[in-house]
């Protein structure tokens, strides 16, 4: 099982409108809503690939019930922790030109200790733990370290996709793989060269640092070596959730072989192709297998010179 911890799940609501005019009354032509949050997106992509997953997330209030029903509807198993804080919604307003405006409610939790306990209780049989998304308010200092430490003490590799102090805390706690995008990396390392910044983190913490660079693909630095993997071509579409598909691909590779980053050519080709397919998909948390397969041969993986 791949455990997908989603500290800040959401109900993602999409409104289709002709035109979004601030200050005016705008009629909504269509409403869609589905379970979201980065950890949930990762789990949905993995589930669609046929991987066994378990979402672990807090949930509260009526949106929390909607989250539970929505995950059942798509067949993604979940261990939802009852939270006295109501699960947030995000509202994305898409106009006829395809421009998207996203309103994101703040998230907070009163159930962090229970969430950590639930992850600990789910580690038997786990091949990888993924912790994905921003941390809700209410997480005590050391909250991320507790999650990472729990997995590490059982010998389960951990992938963490988050930002800011939580990213640094995950690295210090020994996260095996972190996946900042260039901006998230620049926010935690004072070096404007992403490869150098990633090398610094990889060497200091002994982690694999996967820097995602939008249409330019990824730069991957391990303590021993460095690679670059580029999509064959930039595609147009919805980049929201592309990072989650990338994380899903990396987690699947680790689940099959914990030592995969010694020779990561294949996993990088697979994960980058999956992220390209996610850009082509209309909603976050999905990737068409045809697009995935179609993008594989185009991905160019190059070893970078110099020791990691």
Q: How far is the CB of 65 from ligand ATP (least distance, A)?
A: 26
243 is a site residue for Mg ion (CB under 5 A): yes
171 in helix, strand or coil?
helix
Supply φ then ψ for residue 5, to 5 degrees.
-85, 125
The nearer residue to Mg ion, 194 or 243, going by C-beta atoms, is: 243
Q: How far is the CB of 192 from ligand ATP (least distance, A)?
A: 17
Which CA distances in Å does 191 have to 57, 122, 185, 188, 194?
34, 38, 9, 9, 7
Q: Give residue for tokens 């820097």.
A: 211
Give Cα 75 to chain centroid, integer Å.
Answer: 19
CA distance 89 to 283: 16
Supply φ then ψ for residue 84, to 5 degrees.
-75, -15
Q: How far is the CB of 260 from Mg ion (least distance, A)?
A: 20
Q: How far is the CB of 290 from ligand ATP (least distance, A)?
A: 16
Q: Any residues with CB less than 8 A from the CB of 113 and at least 6 apart, and which?
A: none
Q: How far is the CB of 185 from ligand ATP (least distance, A)?
A: 11
Q: Quick one: which segment of 92-100, 111-119, 209-217, 251-259 binds ligand ATP (CB under 6 A)?
A: 209-217
242 is a site residue for ligand ATP (CB under 6 A): yes
298 is a site residue for ligand ATP (CB under 6 A): no
215 binds, among Mg ion, ligand ATP, none (CB under 5 to 8 A by kind): ligand ATP
The nearer residue to ligand ATP, 142 or 289, going by C-beta atoms, is: 289
Q: Which tokens hold the place of 305? A: 């010179």
CA distance 273 to 10: 26
Query: DSSP label at 259?
Result: T
Task: By CB under 6 A, name the one of 71, 218, 226, 287 that touches ligand ATP.
Answer: 218
228 is a site residue for ligand ATP (CB under 6 A): no
Contacts with ligand ATP by CB under 6 A lie at 181, 212-215, 217-218, 231, 234-235, 239-244, 246, 272, 275-276, 279
């Amino acid at each position: 099982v791949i455990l997908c911890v989603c500290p800040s799940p959401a109900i993602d609501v999409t409104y289709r409108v002709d035109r979004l005019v601030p200050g005016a009354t705008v009629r909504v032509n269509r409403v869609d809503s589905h379970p979201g949050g980065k950890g949930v997106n990762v789990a949905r992509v993995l589930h669609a690939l046929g991987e066994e997953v378990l979402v672990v997330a807090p949930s509260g209030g009526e949106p929390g019930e909607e989250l539970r029903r929505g995950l059942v509807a798509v067949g993604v198993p979940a261990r939802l922790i009852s939270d006295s804080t109501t699960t947030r919604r995000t509202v994305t307003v898409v106009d006829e030109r395809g421009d998207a405006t996203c309103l994101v409610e703040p998230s907070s939790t009163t159930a962090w200790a229970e969430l950590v306990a639930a992850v600990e209780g789910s580690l038997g049989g786990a091949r990888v733990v993924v912790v994905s998304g921003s941390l809700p308010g209410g997480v005590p200092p050391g909250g991320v370290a507790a999650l990472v430490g729990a997995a590490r003490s059982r010998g389960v590799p951990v992938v963490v996709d988050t930002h800011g102090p939580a990213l640094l805390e995950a690295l210090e706690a020994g996260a095996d793989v972190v996946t900042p995008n260039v901006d998230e990396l620049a926010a935690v390392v004072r070096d404007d060269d992403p490869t150098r910044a990633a090398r610094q983190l990889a060497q200091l913490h002994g982690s694999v640092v996967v820097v995602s660079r939008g249409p330019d693909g990824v730069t991957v630095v391990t303590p021993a070596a460095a690679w670059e993997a580029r999509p064959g071509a930039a595609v147009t579409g919805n980049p929201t959730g592309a990072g989650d598909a990338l994380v899903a691909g990396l987690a699947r590779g680790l689940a099959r072989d914990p030592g995969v980053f010694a020779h990561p050519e294949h996993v990088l080709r697979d994960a980058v192709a999956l992220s390209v397919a996610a850009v082509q998909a209309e909603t976050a948390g999905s990737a068409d297998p045809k697009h995935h397969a179609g993008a594989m041969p185009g991905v160019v993986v190059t070893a970078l010179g110099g020791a990691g």
